[in-house]
Amino acid sequence: MPSKPARRSFIAAHPAFAGGQDTPRAFLERCLEQIDAREADVLAFVETAIPAARSAADAATVRWRENRQLSSVDGMPVGVKDVIETADMATGKGSPLFTGWRSGWDSASVMALREAGALILGKTVTTEFAASVPGPTRNPHDLARTPGGSSSGSAAGVAAGFISAGLGTQVVGSIVRPSSFCGVYGFKPSLGGINRGGSHDYMSQSCQGVLAASLDDVWRTAIEIAVRAGGDPGYPGLAGPMTTPEAKKPRRLVFLETPGWGAVSAPLKAAFEGSLARLRASGIEIVGRVNASEVADVEAALGDALKVTRDINGRESIWPLNIYAERDASKLSPQMRDRLTESQAMTPDEYRQSLARRAQIRALYARLASGADGCIALSATGAAPLGLSSTGDPSFAAPGSLLGVPALSLPLLSEGGLPVGVQLLGFEQKDADLFAIAGFVEQILG
């Protein structure tokens, strides 16, 4: 069992494609070899489309040879979380109610990826309806551990080198947490950054994002989608350069403990504080709750992040959960049935109060933008926990979801030899700026 990640960056292979030493088809075959070797253990995929991917890789190979590639992800092997529709594969949503269900159409993001030449290699395992009940996927770094969720298969597939990038979705912790546990790069854009059309992830905090092998693979994949499919209707959508924003040293970062800090082990706290010290040594000012009252206000407000998120998501899930339960409640997990019962007890006015509370917390956070370039936090309370029955603690990921701001998890720390992410949080619509900061942070800590 390799403890080193086997991430496979497609963008890093660009020069070899251009120079003729490598091809997208050969790149794909290396992914397929890895799948042959490890998928039986990792279980990242629900379904694959290998013949179609090989044809698409051959077409991309010709385009690269003739220097007329469609985009920077032309030929990139990509996995698609199984709540996102694909024309050629089923969309099972991690639920026995939908096993084998086919919409027959591509989601907006998959449409964009195909237009950009990417290979839709397979559907990746999701928890039940992208919520909390896990699928079969195991953590490639230790098969006895959860990969995190809900974007479990995309995270594990990238970590295992099956794919260069995977589409994910996040409404609480579903991109940042599995990215942290699996040691991959994970990006949840600003709310509405990537068009969710055709993704079964309906909540007001829901966001589609990318998990990938490097910062470059994340950005390139995300921006190639956004320029073709846009953001959610009514949102400006992810904006920025077609190449990864150049690394730029931030002047000041806010260290956010978040409600998760109390659950972090002393060694991991020390490692994270060591990272902060190295960033300070590079000339970045780092402020926290102890030396900035507006940060303390945000930290206090984030104490409500999980509860407010849970209340909002609950009420927003009554449909469709209720019609699923009416059809066959025995095919919903007990957790999902309990969730539905709880949510149905909530009144419209309680929901409106939760929305108002979320708006308050967002306003408090937005004030930080005048004095800082972004925030830095852990991505999870520790390494992936043992066992496959829970996807782990989302305390560190929930704030970014609640706030609707861009969040990036970088695989820069470890605990007990297992990966842990450093999380950067930005400000609304400033996703490209966050990548520039991340480039610098990675130079210092990587």
Which residues make up the interface to a copy of itself (CB under 8 A)? 87, 105-108, 111-112, 195, 197-198, 202-206, 226-227, 229-230, 233-237, 239, 315-316, 318-320, 322-323, 348, 351-352, 355
- Least distance in Å: CB of 404 to a copy of itself? 10
Contact between 97 and 328 (Cβ < 8 Å): yes
DSSP label at 130? G
Rg (CA), the chain: 20
- Least distance (Å) from a copy of itself to the CB of residue 199? 11
CB of 37 or CB of 355, closer to a copy of itself = 355
Nearer to a copy of itself, 119 or 203 (CB): 203
E-strand spans in 127-277? Answer: 165-170, 185-188, 207-212, 252-255
- CA gap 103, 88 in Å, rounded: 9
- As given in the structure block, the two tokens for residue 397 are 């990921």
Q: Which helix (H) or strand (E) holds 411?
A: strand 407-415
164 vs 206, beta carbon nearer a copy of itself: 206
By beta-carbon proximity to a copy of itself, the closer residue of 7 and 358 is 358
Nearer to a copy of itself, 111 or 176 (CB): 111
Half-sphere exposure of 345 (CA within 13 A, CB side): 5
Copy the structure tokens of residue 114. Answer: 């195909």
Q: Are 390 and 134 in contact (CB under 8 A)?
A: yes
CA distance linking residue 64 with residue 74, whole number of Å: 8
Beta strands of 6-109 (E only): which ranges? 45-48, 77-81
**Closest approach of a copy of itself to the CB of residue 113, in Å:** 12
What's the first-to-final CA gap in the chain, in angstroms?
23
Rounded distance between C-alpha atoms, residue 313 and residue 72, angstroms: 36
Nearer of residues 57 and 111 to a copy of itself, judged by Cβ: 111
Q: How many CA atoms lie within 13 A of 13 on its CB side?
A: 25
Buried residues in 111-127 as b, exposed as e (16+ CB within 10 A): bbbbbbbbbbbbbbbbb
Taking residue 145's Cβ as centre, other Cβ atoms within 10 Å add up to: 20
| Minimum distance from residue 353 beta carbon to a copy of itself (Å) | 10
Query: Smallest gap, in angstroms, from Cβ of residue 203 to a copy of itself?
Result: 5
| 185-208 burial: b if 16+ Cβ within 10 Å, else e | bbbbbbbbbbbbbbbbbbbebbbb
188 is catalytic: no
Q: Which CB atom, from 101 or from 416, has the smaller least distance to a copy of itself?
A: 101
Our answer to whether residue 103 is catalytic in this structure is no
Catalytic residue, chosen from 9, 95, 174, 409, is 174
Burial class (CB in 10 A: 0-12, 13-18, 19+), 43: buried
Nearest CB to a copy of itself, comparing residues 325 and 397: 325
Q: Least Å distance between CB 323 and a copy of itself?
A: 5
Please identify, using beta-carbon distances, which residue of 114 and 177 lies nearer to a copy of itself.
Answer: 114
User: One of 9, 72, 81, 430 is an active-site residue; which one?
Assistant: 81
Place of tokens 């790069």: 185
Cα angle value 445/156/147 (rounded, 5°): 85
Quick one: tokens of 35?
Answer: 């799948």
Q: Is 4 a catalytic residue?
A: no
Q: Which residues are known catalytic residues?
A: 81, 150, 174
